[in-house]
A and B are shown apart, each in its own frame.
Chain A
Amino acid sequence: MPTLRERLNNELDRVTLDHCVKCTLCEQNCPVAPVTDLFSGPKFVGPQGERFRNEFSVDHSIDYCSSCSTCTVVCPQGVNVAEINSIGRALMREETGIPLRDRLIVNTTMMGRMMTPVAPVANAVLNNKLARVAMEKVIGVHRAAAMPTARSQSFRSWWRKHTPAKPATRGPVVFFHGCAGGYFEVETAKQTVEVLEYIGYEVLVPKQSCCGLAAQSNGLFDQASASVRSLVDQLRSAGEDLLIISSAGSCGGMLRHEARKILGIDDPELADVGLRMRDISEFLMDLHMAGELPTDFAEIAMRVPYHQPCQVRSQGMGMPAADLMRLIPGLEVVESFATCCGIAGTYGLKKEKYEIGQLVGKDLFEMVEATNQGYAACDTETCRWQIEKSTKVTTVHPIFFIHKAYGLAR
């Protein structure tokens, strides 16, 4: 069996370490290094450490990288710091073994499928302190970590019964809701569909499974690659050349670039999906810039703190959700400009990293608490759970406000 490094096709990411001039901008912006000395920092484990790695992995502090990708985003020289680190971590984990906990928590679809039929029970269990203590002891998920709330109806079962309110006036688009949108954040998925239909699109929703992002960030590269490939096939099955609109911030990023850059998947099919993928806010703002977005928004007189998740920021499209929400009269959008909320997918769930995650998110939580008037907005599910759990402020996808301002809320 070839080694993981040989199986991966990331050599071109790895060689970006040559661009590193040691300027420390990645270190300056890393959200983890300031709150713990367990992580030696993105430069140390990234372009610096990589020069010392052969096929062997000898440094374990790399495990404390949260995969937020901020280092890659801020690097002016084009070093794929986060990608190098992710690969290094996967290699390290391949050698040291991956804990059962990490194999379990990456199976979002499975969790959703199991929990939906028994939602009240599942929620009761997840809210039960004793159960959570046991869960922490047995599988290492911190007792206080944010857990999704199961819904009694999945998006799919809603979708099957759903009929558009009015006939489509624009061409079809494919909707990608992600597995959280399918089972836990069902409202976000529904609202996105209703907004797209309201502005005239025909919405197609192919069956869709997990993108594999959580598996990837836990070093389960083979599992992640298989997930990506099957999701790519599902999304492509909806039709050629159609735009794919995502309400799952991080999962869209997985398909757009992470699967290629980190997992090294060089398939033309993946590239095709990446090319067609649009974040919902990005899509709507592009329409707006082209003068094609209806702006019959009702006023929402409210101040709302908005946090752009690290994995949305790393997609390099700017901050379209903030720009979009600002189109709503009366809505005052306060950007957090926080690097990361601390959850970083599954990082902040883990027993040994929970405290770090809370420290990473501290300034954000304070900002949300200080500025909210009942709601906070954020593009990615796990970050919403983290913010809501840590601040007790209802945290919604930005589409919530668009949906409401279009008068679609019931």
Chain B
Amino acid sequence: MRHLEAEVVVVGGGSTGVGVARDAAMRGFRTILLERADLGQGTTSRFHGLLHSGGRYVVSDLGSATECAQENAILRRIQPHAIEDTGGFFVVTPDDDPAFADDFLAGAAKTGVPATEIPVAEALRRERLLNPGIKRVIEVADGSVDGWALVWSAARSAQSHGAQVLTYHRATGIQVRDGRVVGISAHDVKNDEQVLIDCSFILNCAGPWAGQVAALAGCHDVNVIPGAGIMIAMNHRLVNTVINRCVYPTDGDILVPVHTVSIIGTTDVKADDPDKLTIPRDQVQQMMDAGSVLIPTFREHRAVHAWAGARPLIKDDRVSSSDTRHMSRGMAVLDHDTRDGIKGMLTIGGGKLTTYRLMAEHIVDAMCEQLGQTRECTTATEPVPGEADGKLYHVTHRLHEREKNRLDEQTICECELLARSQLVSAMKEQPLGTMDDWRRQTRLGMGPCQGGFCSTRAAGIAVAEEVVDHERATGLLRLFLANRWIGLWPILANDQVRQVALDHWMLDGTMSVGHLPALETEIKQ
């Protein structure tokens, strides 16, 4: 058993938790962050990658619109490497009411969201696959954001201010004495060790899992309704600009170019368990139809991978719980002192990635208020480490880098142009990680072949670099293939069928991965 001490323990390593840990650490709190798996493995990475301009909310939610516009500008300053300045279009498709665009422009003016109507012909010239039947186009300042890059760079910022970030540490109990939080226990999953942390404050940022964490302190009925949605990554950037459908927020209303892919999203269906999200066939078809409205040839293009994520919405009695979209997407803070008579714990729900920094500021403000302290938030002005050049990410970066040193260093994942040294440093940073953990940092296996060529290379490198032994590497390889398949089989069509056939031919046929000795117990994520 390991004994640690902190002032604040943040539970949850998604964008909210990491943002809160960074904020708290920057205000001088001794902070520990507990994450049950890898950073950004939950909701943070299971979204479509949009950095909101605010345009999405200029009609439906004016407060959110203004917040998004402001935070969008801040994140471009403090975490530029995680953000690509794609710009965005709100397009009125032939199926939509052109009058909504007037409401949109009026709302944008009111909320301070930059928005300009541009000629349809110009939009079609810039985005050649766009539906030529679109009737109006409004240009906004959308961007795309890499959720993992965002949380990892925020985590490094928190660490540089003294915070400890403990991944693969699952909170197992919260100690309360005399109506006050005094500690939290956790299970170090990788080392199979109990960890006890003395602390005076817990910030529950577990998103869809926040109800489970609150229950550890005996605070029951914290109803987080996971609003599940699926996203599908298309094999390349069908568009270089975020394409939003100019309608009241609905399913399948956005196509986002992120890194080398473009992501169509999303659906919204109440889920019972955020750990058991599925990618239902009817929702895949719904997304294909939605994509076809924006890009008429959408179904002929290649879907490369799909995933499901859960929005962490706190239940609001005003709407029926089966329709989560109309709950507030704003942040909700539950004060367990007033609610349950337990001091030193706040639970946070809701929010969106674009405003994660602002949410963190509000939460830490609320904590300071309870503690009777005044400490100023500086997260909006200080760039995270390594971002001093202020250079925004651009999709060409890796090609540019690889072009320079392609002869000097091996490209391990060719689809995503991942250099060996990048992979090795991710492995060394998380030696107990899985190949998916390394993937989230490096994009290993996230391109067209989905690990067909690179998975065995990566497993081999892990052994060669003495990160793992051959048995664990074999287990990790099997786990990686199994996990990639989760996002593949529901969307398998056209080119991706050919790819999967070749991948199986190589992996199962030529290399007989299926006949490798299996570990006694399969490695779990």
Which residues does A use to contact B, with CB under 8 Å?
A: 2, 6, 9, 11, 15, 17-23, 37, 40, 43-44, 48-56, 58-61, 77
CA distance A296 to B502 in the complex (A): 51
Which of B302, B396, B449, B498 meets A58, CB within 8 Å?
A: B396
**Distance between A238 CB and nearest chain B CB, rounded to angstroms:** 35
Known: A6-B125, A22-B448, A52-B396. A58 touches B403 (CB 8 A): yes
Q: What are 24 A-B pairs at a CB distance below 8 A? A: A15-B129, A15-B238, A18-B236, A18-B448, A19-B302, A19-B498, A21-B502, A22-B414, A22-B452, A22-B453, A44-B414, A50-B236, A51-B447, A52-B260, A52-B395, A52-B396, A52-B398, A53-B396, A54-B394, A55-B240, A56-B396, A59-B399, A59-B400, A59-B403
Say if the beta carbon of B326 comes within 8 Å of chain A.
no
> Which of B260, B297, B448, B498 has the most chain A CB within a 10 Å cutoff?
B448
CA distance A39 to B125 in the complex (A): 32
Say if the beta carbon of B455 comes within 8 Å of chain A.
no
Q: In the complex, what residues of A have CB within 8 A of residue B414's CB?
A: 22, 43-44, 48
> Which of B302, B403, B452 has the most chain A CB within a 10 Å cutoff?
B403
Interchain pairs with CB closer than 8 A, number: 85
Q: In the complex, what residues of B have CB within 8 A of residue A22's CB?
A: 414-415, 448-449, 452-453, 499, 502
Q: Is the CB of B415 within 8 A of A53?
A: no
Q: Is the CB of A21 within 8 A of B498?
A: yes
By beta carbon, the residue of chain A nearest B84 is: A54
Question: Using an 8 Å CB-CB cutoff, how does the interface string of B214-237 with A read, 1 for contact, 0 for none?
Answer: 000000000000000000000111
Q: Is the CB of A21 within 8 A of B495?
A: yes
CA distance A56 to B495 in the complex (A): 27
Given A11-B129, A22-B414, A56-B396, 15 extra CB contacts under 8 A: A6-B128, A9-B128, A17-B236, A18-B301, A18-B495, A21-B499, A48-B414, A48-B415, A48-B417, A49-B399, A51-B260, A52-B417, A53-B395, A54-B237, A59-B399
Say if the beta carbon of B407 comes within 8 Å of chain A.
yes
Which of B126, B260, B448 meets A21, CB within 8 Å?
A: B448
**Distance between A51 CB and nearest chain B CB, rounded to angstroms:** 4
CB-contacts of B418-469 with A (<8 A): 447-449, 452-453
Q: Is the CB of A18 within 8 A of B235?
A: yes
Q: In the complex, what residues of A have CB within 8 A of residue B301's CB?
A: 15, 18
Q: In the complex, what residues of A have CB within 8 A of residue B2's CB?
A: none
Q: In the complex, what residues of A have CB within 8 A of residue B240's CB?
A: 54-55
By beta carbon, the residue of chain B nearest A51 is: B260
Q: In the complex, what residues of B have CB within 8 A of residue A19's CB?
A: 302, 495, 498
Say if the beta carbon of B375 comes within 8 Å of chain A.
no
Which of B125, B237, B407 meets A37, CB within 8 Å?
A: B407
By beta carbon, the residue of chain A nearest B302 is: A18
Question: Using an 8 Å CB-CB cutoff, how does the interface string of B401-412 with A read, 1 for contact, 0 for none?
Answer: 001001100000
Secondary structure type dominating chain B contacts: loop
> Which of A11, A19, A51 has the most chain B CB within a 10 Å cutoff?
A51
CA distance A77 to B417 in the complex (A): 21
Q: In the complex, what residues of B have CB within 8 A of residue A15's CB?
A: 129, 236, 238, 297, 301
Q: In the complex, what residues of B have CB within 8 A of residue A23's CB?
A: 502
Q: Is the CB of A11 within 8 A of B128?
A: yes
Q: Is the CB of A51 within 8 A of B400?
A: no
**Distance between A145 CB and nearest chain B CB, rounded to angstroms:** 27
Q: Is the CB of B128 within 8 A of A61?
A: no
CA distance A48 to B302 in the complex (A): 14
Which of B238, B403, B417, B449 meets A60, CB within 8 Å?
A: B403
Q: In the complex, what residues of B have CB within 8 A of residue A53's CB?
A: 395-396, 399
**Distance between A28 CB and nearest chain B CB, rounded to angstroms:** 15
CA distance A40 to B402 in the complex (A): 10
Q: In the complex, what residues of A have CB within 8 A of residue B403's CB?
A: 40, 58-61
Q: Is the CB of B396 within 8 A of A54?
A: yes
CA distance A212 to B400 in the complex (A): 31
By beta carbon, the residue of chain A nearest B499 is: A21
CA distance A243 to B125 in the complex (A): 36
**Distance between A396 CB and nearest chain B CB, rounded to angstroms:** 41
CA distance A37 to B126 in the complex (A): 35
Rank and list the top 3 A-B pairs by shortest CB-CB distance, nearest first. Answer: A52-B399, A18-B302, A58-B400
CA distance A216 to B469 in the complex (A): 53
CB-contacts of B362-413 with A (<8 A): 394-396, 398-400, 403, 406-407
Q: In the complex, what residues of B have CB within 8 A of residue A50's CB?
A: 236
Q: In the complex, what residues of B have CB within 8 A of residue A56's CB?
A: 394, 396
Which of A2, A49, A51 meets B237, CB within 8 Å?
A: A51
CA distance A50 to B129 in the complex (A): 16
**Distance between B88 CB and nearest chain A CB, rounded to angstroms:** 15
CA distance A15 to B237 in the complex (A): 9
CA distance A267 to B487 in the complex (A): 42
Q: In the complex, what residues of B have CB within 8 A of residue A37's CB?
A: 407
Q: In the complex, what residues of B have CB within 8 A of residue A20's CB?
A: 448
CB-contacts of B483-504 with A (<8 A): 495, 498-499, 502
Q: In the complex, what residues of A have CB within 8 A of residue B395's CB?
A: 52-54
CA distance A56 to B236 in the complex (A): 16
CA distance A92 to B448 in the complex (A): 25
CA distance A352 to B228 in the complex (A): 57
Which of B236, B407, B495, B499 meets A51, CB within 8 Å?
A: B236
**Distance between A6 CB and nearest chain B CB, rounded to angstroms:** 5
Q: Is the CB of B126 within 8 A of A6?
A: yes
CA distance A20 to B126 in the complex (A): 25
Q: In the complex, what residues of A have CB within 8 A of residue B399's CB?
A: 49, 52-53, 58-59
CA distance A283 to B127 in the complex (A): 42
Q: In the complex, what residues of B have CB within 8 A of residue A58's CB?
A: 396, 399-400, 403
Q: Is the CB of A2 within 8 A of B415?
A: no
By beta carbon, the residue of chain A nearest B500 is: A21
Q: In the complex, what residues of B have CB within 8 A of residue A77's CB?
A: 495, 498
CA distance A53 to B453 in the complex (A): 22
Q: In the complex, what residues of A have CB within 8 A of residue B452's CB?
A: 22
CA distance A9 to B128 in the complex (A): 9
Q: In the complex, what residues of A have CB within 8 A of residue B238's CB?
A: 15
**Distance between B394 CB and nearest chain A CB, rounded to angstroms:** 7
CA distance A386 to B448 in the complex (A): 40
**Distance between A76 CB and nearest chain B CB, rounded to angstroms:** 9
> Which of B235, B394, B398 has the most chain A CB within a 10 Å cutoff?
B235
CA distance A316 to B67 in the complex (A): 58
Q: In the complex, what residues of A have CB within 8 A of residue B453's CB?
A: 22
CA distance A61 to B399 in the complex (A): 11
Q: In the complex, what residues of B have CB within 8 A of residue A51's CB?
A: 235-237, 260, 415, 447
CA distance A50 to B302 in the complex (A): 15
Q: In the complex, what residues of B have CB within 8 A of residue A44's CB?
A: 406, 414
Known: A54-B237, A61-B403. A2 touches B396 (CB 8 A): no
Q: In the complex, what residues of A have CB within 8 A of residue B406's CB?
A: 40, 44, 61
Q: In the complex, what residues of A have CB within 8 A of residue B125's CB?
A: 2, 6
By beta carbon, the residue of chain B nearest A48 is: B414
Q: In the complex, what residues of A have CB within 8 A of residue B447's CB?
A: 51
CA distance A242 to B396 in the complex (A): 48
**Distance between A79 CB and nearest chain B CB, rounded to angstroms:** 10
CA distance A18 to B238 in the complex (A): 10
CB-contacts of B122-138 with A (<8 A): 125-126, 128-129
CA distance A341 to B396 in the complex (A): 34
CA distance A404 to B414 in the complex (A): 53
By beta carbon, the residue of chain B nearest A17 is: B236
**Distance between A92 CB and nearest chain B CB, rounded to angstroms:** 11
Q: In the complex, what residues of A have CB within 8 A of residue B236's CB?
A: 15, 17-18, 50-51
CA distance A256 to B125 in the complex (A): 27
CA distance A55 to B240 in the complex (A): 9
Question: Using an 8 Å CB-CB cutoff, how does the interface string of B258-285 with A read, 1 for contact, 0 for none?
Answer: 0010000000000000000000000000
**Distance between B298 CB and nearest chain A CB, rounded to angstroms:** 11
By beta carbon, the residue of chain B nearest A15 is: B301
CA distance A309 to B453 in the complex (A): 33
By beta carbon, the residue of chain A nearest B301 is: A18
CA distance A51 to B396 in the complex (A): 9
CA distance A43 to B453 in the complex (A): 14
